[in-house]
Amino acid sequence: MIRLRLDVSGGQAIRVPLGCEDSHYLVDVMRLKAGDSLEVLTRDNTVWSAVLEPNHMVRLQTELDRHNRLPRHVTLYQALLKGDHFGAVVDRATQAGVGRIVPIVTARCIVREVSLNKRARWSLLAKEAGEQSHRIDVPDIGDLASLDSLVPGGGAFGCVLDPRAAYDRPWLEPQHGPVELVVGPEGGLTPDEVSRLQSVGFRPISLGPRVYRAENAGAFATVLFLQ
Amino acid sequence: MIRLRLDVSGGQAIRVPLGCEDSHYLVDVMRLKAGDSLEVLTRDNTVWSAVLEPNHMVRLQTELDRHNRLPRHVTLYQALLKGDHFGAVVDRATQAGVGRIVPIVTARCIVREVSLNKRARWSLLAKEAGEQSHRIDVPDIGDLASLDSLVPGGGAFGCVLDPRAAYDRPWLEPQHGPVELVVGPEGGLTPDEVSRLQSVGFRPISLGPRVYRAENAGAFATVLFLQ
């Protein structure tokens, strides 16, 4: 079943005009015709069965169950990466089930700014990866933040990926409640940065003896947190 | 520390002439000079501290510990995918720690052959991703197999990713012993194919209510098996 995210509130028999891109996706790429069924994810994170109507309209029918809500909310503070690697993070972490992605600048970041274009592209990647994985809630992309501004939110388990940390798994307990995860750039965080994060409550954790590409680390950790 | 895989047996003070590509990688890409240190992974899966010498030679010094051996062996039977997506599987699954990757042909595969070029490229991707993740044992790429020929090896936990399977986690027990995992192509396996696999001992498992891209599914499952 094709899923589409639309920026509307859910409601029975609501008709929604499609934007150009969504219409192109449904009609030209996915070959849907008027009368064909699809599912729509709404702004309020509900999922509706829906029908494609003529003239680029979609009509919502009934609300579907919420069985695919994620078991916990993971915020990924990801250092900016070279090339299009941050986009790869957005794609993979969204598939893995991350709830929010916040780009951060750290000492070893080579890229240090986020253009409006790039940010729009990341939002699109999150939307597409979320639809493809049948997620109800697509992660939002936060504003660029500095590492120094990070403090774990109340009740959240704050942690920072650090290959020097001990290789154990107690950080997978408790298995409920929000997670805030910091992942560094290609060259890693500096020891000073890890110390600073530790001093405000982020726990250094290791995913084991392997060293993951920056594009994979956040997604792999999220898979474990959401197991 | 830079790691390089060389097709030699390990041994103290052994001198190894570098091939063009490895020499280019160390000298031109990584900017190593004669006298600089690196680590070498040998054919017999040992890791050695080593030094770059003049005239494209590397000298092995002492064997390093084996702390980063993987806790269990995962074989990934991955259906052929469109475009370069199989290469993405090799890259990500290697990073995740898979031990062997065997391409398979299934009913819904669009690509149905593997050229020698493609296979050589996959081996290179596995080597690079393995070195980057500091793995001792880089996965080998098996010959193309048909789905019908698959039977789990003795003592292995055989399983097949199937979004229709129940969403539970008992398949993460036991946490030891080899795993043989079958992952379908973009359109999934047919119900008949899943039944056939089940009849020879592969258990249908689900990674949860989300649907992963074929490029991610094998890697994400491997992360869980190796947790």
CB contact under 8 A, B210 and A97: yes
**Same domain, residue pair B124 and B193:** yes
What is the reported pLDDT for B168?
Answer: 63
CB pair distance less than 8 Å for B226 and A208: yes
Domain co-membership, A78 together with A59: no
**8 Å CB contact between B147 and B196:** yes
Tell me if chain A has a CB within 8 Å of the CB of B212: yes
Inter-chain residue contact A68 with B209, CB threshold 8 Å: yes
Give the pair of three-digit tokens for residue B192. 């008949």
Which residues, including other chains, have CB under 8 Å from residue A67's CB and lie 6 or more apart? B209
A128 and A193, same domain (yes or no): yes
Does residue A213 sit at the B interface (CB-CB below 8 Å)? Answer: yes
Question: For residue B33, what are the domain limits?
Answer: 3-63
Q: What are the chain A neighbours of B224 within 8 Å (beta carbons)?
A: 223-224, 227
List the structure tokens of B98. Answer: 């898979």
> Which chain A residues have a beta carbon less than 8 Å from that of B134?
209-211
Q: Are residues B144 and B180 in the same domain?
A: yes
Match 């149905």 to its residue by tokens: B112
Q: Can you give the pTM of this predicted structure?
A: 0.74
Q: For residue B43, is it within any domain?
A: yes
Residue that terminates a domain, selected from A63, A85, A112: A63
How far from A24 is each of A33, A47, A69, A184, CA to CA, in Å? Answer: 12, 21, 28, 37
- pLDDT score for B212: 86
Please report the pLDDT score of residue B170 as a whole number.
59
**Same-domain status, A157 and A137:** yes
CB contact at 8 A, B5 and B50: no
Using an 8 Å CB-CB cutoff, list chain A residues near B226.
Answer: 208
Closest residue to B209, CB basis, from A67, A210, A219: A67
Look at residues B43, B63, B83 and tell me which one is the last residue of a structural domain. B63
Give the pLDDT score at A68. 57
Concatenate the DSSP letters of all residues of chain A into one string: --EEE-SS---TT-EEEPPHHHHIIIIIIS---TT-EEEEE-TTS-EEEEEEETTTEEEEEEEPP-TT--SS-EEEEEE--STTHHHHHHHHHHHHT-SEEEEEE-TT-S-----HHHHHHHHHHHHHHHHHTT-SSPPEE---EEGGG--PPTT-EEEEE-TTS----GGG-S-SS-EEEEE--TT---HHHHHHHHHTTPEEE---SS---HHHHHHHHHHHHT-
B90 located within any domain: yes
Q: Is residue A168 part of a domain?
A: yes
Whether B188 has its CB under 8 Å from any CB of chain A: the answer is: no
For residues B101 and B66, the answer to whether their CB atoms sit within 8 Å is no
Phi, psi angle pair for A97, to nearest 5°: 115, 20
**CB–CB contact B210 A67 (8 Å):** no
Chain A residues with CB under 8 Å of B129 CB are 213
Helix A214-225 vs helix A85-96: crossing angle, to nearest 10: 10
Cα–Cα distance measured from residue B183 to residue B81, given in angstroms and rounded to the nearest whole number: 11
Q: Flag whether pLDDT at B11 surpasses 90.
A: no
Q: Over the stretch B153-183, which tens digit does the pLDDT of each residue have?
A: 888 999 999 987 876 665 666 677 899 999 9
- Choose the closest CB to A132 out of B133, B211, B220: B211
A97/B132 Cβ within 8 A: no
Q: Does A164 touch chain B if contact means CB atoms closer than 8 Å?
A: no
Q: Is residue B133 part of a domain?
A: yes
Q: How confident is the model over B181-214, as pLDDT tens digits?
A: 999 998 899 999 999 999 999 999 988 767 788 8
B169 touching A (Cβ < 8 Å): yes
pLDDT along chain A (227 residues), means of 10: 84 88 88 88 83 92 68 93 95 94 96 94 94 82 95 91 75 79 94 96 85 90 88
Residue A59 token pair: 């009509």
Would you say B76 and B93 are in contact if contact means Cβ atoms under 8 Å apart?
yes
Chain B contact for A96 (CB, 8 A cutoff)? yes
Number of domains in chain A: 2
Is residue B69 domain-resident?
no
Q: Are residues A120 and A187 in the same domain?
A: yes
* Structure confidence at residue B49 as a pLDDT band (50, 70, 90): confident
Q: Measured between CB atoms, which of B95, B220, B226 is closest to A213? A: B95
Closest Cα in chain A, distance from residue B95 (Å): 6
Lowest mean pLDDT among A1-5, A109-113, B18-22, B56-60: A1-5
* Residue B22: φ, ψ to 5°: -65, -40
The reply to whether B163 falls in a domain is yes
What confidence category does residue B9 fall into, taking pLDDT thresholds of 50, 70 and 90? Answer: confident
The verdict on A92 and A54 lying in the same domain is: no
Quick one: B33 and B145 in the same domain?
no
Shortest CA gap B19–chain A (Å): 25
Q: Domain boundary at B63, B93, B113, which? A: B63
Q: Which of B72, B136, B169, B216 to mutate to test the interface with A (most CBs of A within 10 A)?
A: B216
Within 8 A by CB and 6+ apart from B53, the residues are B15, B34, B35, B59
For testing contact with chain A, the best of B186, B223, B225, B226 (most A CBs within 10 A) = B223
Is A59 in the same domain as A79?
A: no
Mean pLDDT of B108-130: 94
More confident residue, B5 or A86: A86
Residue of B nearest to A225 (CA): B224
Angle between helix A214-225 and helix B214-225 axes, rounded to 10 deg: 60
Instruction: Answer yes or no: is pLDDT of B91 > 60.
Output: yes
Closest to A221 measured CA to CA, from B209, B219, B86, B125: B219
- For position B26, which CATH number holds? 2.40.240.20
Does B223 lie at the interface with A, CB-CB under 8 angstroms?
Answer: yes
Whether B61 and B36 have beta carbons less than 8 Å apart is answered as no
Judging contacts by C-beta atoms under 8 Å, the chain B residues touching residue A74 are: none
- Res A77: pLDDT: 98
Nearest CA in chain B to A215: B92
Locate the chain B residue with the closest alpha carbon to A98.
B210
Query: How would you write chain B as a 3-class SS string?
Result: CCEEECCCCCCCCCEEECCHHHHHHHHHHCCCCCCCEEEEECCCCCEEEEEEECCCEEEEEEECCCCCCCCCCEEEEEECCCCCHHHHHHHHHHHHCCCEEEEEECCCCCCCCCCHHHHHHHHHHHHHHHHHCCCCCCCEECCCEEHHHCCCCCCCEEEEECCCCCCCCHHHCCCCCCEEEEECCCCCCCHHHHHHHHHCCCEEECCCCCCCCHHHHHHHHHHHHCC
Alpha carbons B171 and B160: distance in angstroms, whole number = 11
CA dihedral A128, A152, A198, A122 (to 10 degrees): 20
Inter-chain contact A224–B220, Cβ cutoff 8 Å? no
| B96 interfaces chain A, CB cutoff of 8 Å | yes
A55, A91: one domain? no
Least confident of A111-115, B142-146, B193-197, B222-226: B222-226
Mean pLDDT across B29-50:
85
What pLDDT score was predicted for residue B85?
Answer: 95
Say whether both A39 and A119 belong to one domain. no
What phi and psi, each to the nearest 5 degrees, are found at residue B205?
Answer: -130, 155
Could you tell me if A220 and A186 lie in one domain? yes
Helix A85-96 × helix A116-132 angle, to 10°: 30
